[in-house]
Chain A
């Protein structure tokens, strides 16, 4: 077999002979907005609209693309057999006059053509904002001609190759030749192959991704797997989408967010294997690499991922010995082909066995944003995107069409790049099972991602409105009763309770307030729920809250004023100092001078102090710009965007759900409470303030933080926590971070993690401040510290952190007693928490000391 691989690559020599090296990138591009979806039910193209539209600010309209896998044969104009058997060749004609020439040489010659169809399009004017004419695209369902295939096998000495592999290589070579002749040669760019895998379609334009759907009339076209990409090329004038994503290998399409530092090195590695890029972008090189490793070398996916994102440092040493052995060899062979720098890939494809796949891979340092999500039910969905808010937008969109899907995923999580824990990659696979398509999700190592199988229902029990839990005057008590009730009741009854609370809110201002507070508590609190799927409950609770906020209290409107995009210019100062402003953010742009963030600043300047903002659709910078010594208390519902609370100086922000990236950077004073996770670079360069996080922080939290930030993270952090921490002496007013190492599991139980921190870098180069790690069994090891040292928790330390843990209990519902218990036993604080303190590092101390 090894010999056959060698011959396949050797045969490609004639393909690349005489081509320029491709060592210089044609164009640079930055990050992008990416999205991937896999579903057991076919999803119509129109559902790409909301998530891609909400990620406009990650592209600049100079490149958008989509890929689809698992198409509907009828919509494609072929039989199911043809769809499964034939290669689906899509050719973009930048110069339609060359179609005849292309077809004669590269379609009709080599292939038996079962179906040819030009993609229907709209008029350009019908697609608002589209400035560059998209190419004419023709799809061909083809099979390699027997005689041509035999000749090729003979000439290339590949007669022993399995027939499928031979056909794949034949198709690959034909497209390569087409691209060389009509795209890469002589500087003329007339036509190129968009995709050629079976049941795989790629389309791209100069524009935004959702305009692809619009222009090529894909609104009703369905597929089981979609990927979408908003591009941000830095060259201004782009006249055709040749450089846009996705790019294809053979069976897969890939989109990419990032920028390699070693493009030339990877290109050389490929050239050594007779592969030369023709479009000269990182993305093309990435997918060529993927195709080489997967199809040509036939590596299992795990090894493909290892070759692209190698496991390094401590993570490597944590792998089982046998894996180390294999990985060592992969790295020795392929390290030069491994992309270096920030990147995140989403790959979609259909494997020769018929299995559909969607996977995301992050670079080892997790330098690009990434969120994975999974919902499992009558319809199961796997999702991956640059931002959680895009996933939520998608779920909202499909929910409206199909109530079996609900608006909140069972799980949202981040991959830890190059790690021993999940390998920095997750794979969603769709396989034909006994009851139709089944979706599974595994990490790089094949470990499944489990979700709750608790029941999901949309039925509301009739007695919901009369439950005893709904009476009473204290939201805490109501919530407590409700929690007890939710714990033991079935889904219909539980849904009835949520419904009942919502109805109670219509009675009076007072009831509205109680209902809002208790529903908010139900949304925020970690609590066990056996009878109803937690994510489903959260979706209902969120809806109920949104409805309450939308309608407002029934009273005279003094205590509460609601405002939306349409009414933003009519806002008056509050009539009473403690009046609450309800802001419907849905219509506000994500950024710029008209953004929701600026509106909150204006409201604050008018004297508004209490604000509840809802229908957040990824709006950025919430809480920014309020200025020094600000006094607002802002509650955020919905999918908040990046940079929330960055620079916060005085105000208090509660995020009822998860927050995204760059949260609370350079925060100075005030308080942030997040009833969920936070993304990358949380509190980077923070100066102070208090933050309480129910879940996890992603990569690089608290880097370069100084002064006196005081932070409780009840989950964990992915890596690089508190690097270059400089926050003084915590016992003398400096800062600290408490890591509790808890997890809220799928049923809502608080469970202890095996280790509170898995990363290889903890407190690196820190010169001040401290970490308090809840780690009774000493799972965190010396070799995870790069400069810090473990110290005993003194009475003074406990006295310092206890009030913060108590506040944490009050705000997030994580009891101090629970924190001090381990395996059911209550332990003294010094047996539970370990302190990590700064040590004088030689690199940091004065020269003359």
Chain B
């Protein structure tokens, strides 16, 4: 078990902007008679008549659960208002936020969880998006009479081989690879501090290992990717887990790229490249064109650091099951299947979602194949690529994964709006996917760490609730339980 640095849930409201409300509540000033009935009936504290004041306060739209949830109820403010002075409806701006994969509800609920560490209020969908496919059409089937569960275990074992160090994380996730350059150092620090607080890990991505991460080395996964940027014996020997990135689900068949503007002097220094030039990492590894080369590659990393767990990140081609078996025989501890739903705005749109197999097909394909080969229990299968919510994680596990790797959700916790302008110019205006010195301070590392910590706290509450309702004691019991999932038919 990795030792966690205890952190507790502390409210971490965004100081950049107030959250975007889903509903807009308006009191028509000319009609309102300040009777205060609305404040008495509304159970969600939208209205308040402050003691000593004669006027009703401005309504808190953020607390409203929406008219369709209240209609017909005795506490529906609109019905109770004697002068018909209340207008409740959708916030016209709300739908501008997000996209089908990350609709406004998912973004705002993630913000809510990141701020409070608690479950979002009813009326906001925090489990699925609107993509019309993938995890958004998979639902859990809860037994009517689940086995009683005394204590729920959400932990994950990262080494199932009979040899090597035992590593267990208390939550079934670790942080996905995002390089220095693609995101700021503050963002990296936010993520790694949250990982440490949770006793889990976070990957450096392929932009090297900034010195500021060294104090957190026990929680840093160092990546060896095709560009080999920042890879050195020192960084490999420091890492408890070394991740070989062969492909990225968001852009299989393409290497990494960092456009010139984001390659600031400091980014270039860490990568030892030329500043203000675009940096490409090739596809694939020039030294690995076969599974036997792969074995040699793994052997090399082990010869540099015999104690490291080796994780292999691959996308989901049709023969991903063969890739998995090959990796097993090469001595890999963790196989990370990276599906196509993920990726920041820097991954080309034409690639995202359009190449390779959907992750919800790849996971059970690999899981079953490894079971058939009799080696499933020696390798850890991690799923990644657009897993956005606690429910996505649980579904991936029910499909056969052991755990998940989370990227974008952690950025949303930091106030990402999914605008998709990660790549060009100065990068993200919210200070996340940028290296611009004026934008970076928008996300102080303390704040960022707290937000991500809070989000996982809320996720854990959801996981405990979910497993309890399923009558399961741990995620280990959920793995491969396709029977607990239902696919909602396709829309015609």
Contact = CB atoms under 8 A, between A and B. Distances in A.
Interface of A: 25, 27-33, 57-60, 232, 234-237, 257-259, 341-342, 367-368, 591-593, 595, 597-598, 620-621, 624-628, 642-643, 646-647, 649, 661-662, 665-666, 668, 680-681, 684-685, 687-688, 700, 703-704, 706-708, 723-724, 726-729, 734, 765, 767-768, 838, 840, 843-849
Contacts of B227: 685, 704
A593 B277 contact: no
Given A232-B291, A342-B290, A768-B274, A847 B303 contact: no
Interface string B265-304: 0000001111011111110001101111111100110111
A676 B458 CA distance: 61
Contacts of B299: 57, 591-592, 620-621
Contacts of B229: 685, 704, 706
A234 B287 contact: no
A845 B294 CA distance: 34
Contacts of B361: none
Nearest to A630: B233
Contacts of A647: 231-233, 236, 304
Given A625-B303, A627-B233, A726 B277 contact: yes
CB-based closest 9 A-B pairs:
A685-B228, A30-B291, A31-B290, A30-B290, A707-B272, A31-B292, A28-B322, A768-B274, A236-B373
Counting chain A CB atoms within 10 Å of each CB, the highest count among B232, B261, B289, B373 belongs to B289
A28 B319 contact: yes
A30 B329 CA distance: 12
A700 B306 CA distance: 28
A707 B280 CA distance: 15
B422 to A, nearest CB: 13
6 contacts: A32-B290, A32-B292, A236-B375, A666-B232, A767-B278, A844-B278
Contact of B231 (A666, A700, A767): A666
A257 B291 CA distance: 11
A791 to B, nearest CB: 17
B277 A844 contact: yes
Contacts of A729: 274
B404 to A, nearest CB: 25
A234 B274 contact: no
Interface of B: 226-229, 231-234, 236-237, 259-261, 271-274, 276-282, 286-287, 289-296, 299-300, 302-306, 319, 322-323, 325-326, 328-329, 373-375, 424-425
B291 A621 contact: no
B157 to A, nearest CB: 22
B289 A258 contact: yes
Contacts of A848: 261, 425
Nearest to A342: B289
A767 B274 contact: yes
A706 B234 contact: no
A263 to B, nearest CB: 11
Contacts of A700: 286
B291 A649 contact: no
B232 A845 contact: no
B228 A684 contact: yes
Given A30-B290, A706-B229, A767-B273, 11 more contacts: A30-B326, A234-B329, A237-B374, A598-B303, A621-B299, A624-B300, A647-B236, A665-B287, A734-B274, A844-B278, A845-B276
Nearest to B261: A846
A69 B237 CA distance: 49
A844 B259 CA distance: 7
A642 B296 contact: yes
A843 B375 CA distance: 45
B237 to A, nearest CB: 6
Nearest to A27: B322
A256 to B, nearest CB: 11
A232 B294 CA distance: 11
Given A624-B304, A768-B277, A844-B260, A684 B291 contact: no
Contact of B290 (A259, A703, A846, A849): A259
Contacts of B329: 60, 232, 234, 236
Given A60-B329, A661-B287, A628 B303 contact: no
Contacts of B291: 29-31, 232, 234
Contact of B233 (A27, A628, A727): A628
Contact of B232 (A29, A237, A593, A668): A668
B273 A649 contact: no
Contacts of B306: 593, 598
Nearest to A700: B286
A471 to B, nearest CB: 44
Nearest to A236: B373
Counting chain B CB atoms within 10 Å of each CB, the highest count among A368, A620, A649, A704 belongs to A704
A262 to B, nearest CB: 14
Contacts of A60: 329
Nearest to A765: B280
B485 to A, nearest CB: 27
Contact of A30 (B232, B233, B294): B294
Given A628-B232, A628-B234, A662-B287, A234 B296 contact: no
Contacts of B295: 57, 232
Given A234-B329, A768-B274, A684 B425 contact: no
Contact of A232 (B277, B287, B290): B290
Contacts of B302: 591-593
Contacts of A32: 290, 292
Contact of A368 (B259, B272, B289): B289
Nearest to A767: B277
Nearest to B274: A768
Contacts of A704: 226-229, 281-282, 286
Given A620-B299, A704-B281, A626 B290 contact: no
A434 B266 CA distance: 72
A840 B286 CA distance: 25
A768 B228 contact: no
A235 B273 contact: no
A625 B233 contact: yes
Nearest to B238: A628
A598 B281 CA distance: 30
Given A27-B322, A32-B292, A628-B234, A724 B282 contact: yes
A620 B228 CA distance: 20
A30 B274 contact: no
A483 B327 CA distance: 51
Contacts of B326: 28, 30, 232, 234
B286 A681 contact: yes
A642 to B, nearest CB: 6
Contacts of A707: 272-273
Nearest to B263: A846
A234 B325 contact: yes
A668 B233 contact: yes
Contacts of A31: 289-293
Given A624-B303, A661-B287, A685-B227, A768 B292 contact: no
A370 to B, nearest CB: 12
Contacts of B424: 847
Nearest to A668: B232
A843 B373 CA distance: 46
Contacts of B226: 704
Contacts of A624: 233, 300, 303-304
B292 A232 contact: yes
A237 B373 contact: yes
Contact of A646 (B260, B273, B300, B375): B300
A367 B304 CA distance: 25
Contacts of A765: 280
Counting chain B CB atoms within 10 Å of each CB, the highest count among A235, A236, A627, A688 belongs to A236
Counting chain A CB atoms within 10 Å of each CB, the highest count among B236, B303, B319, B323 belongs to B303
B232 A724 contact: no
A58 B292 CA distance: 5
A620 B296 contact: yes
A452 to B, nearest CB: 34
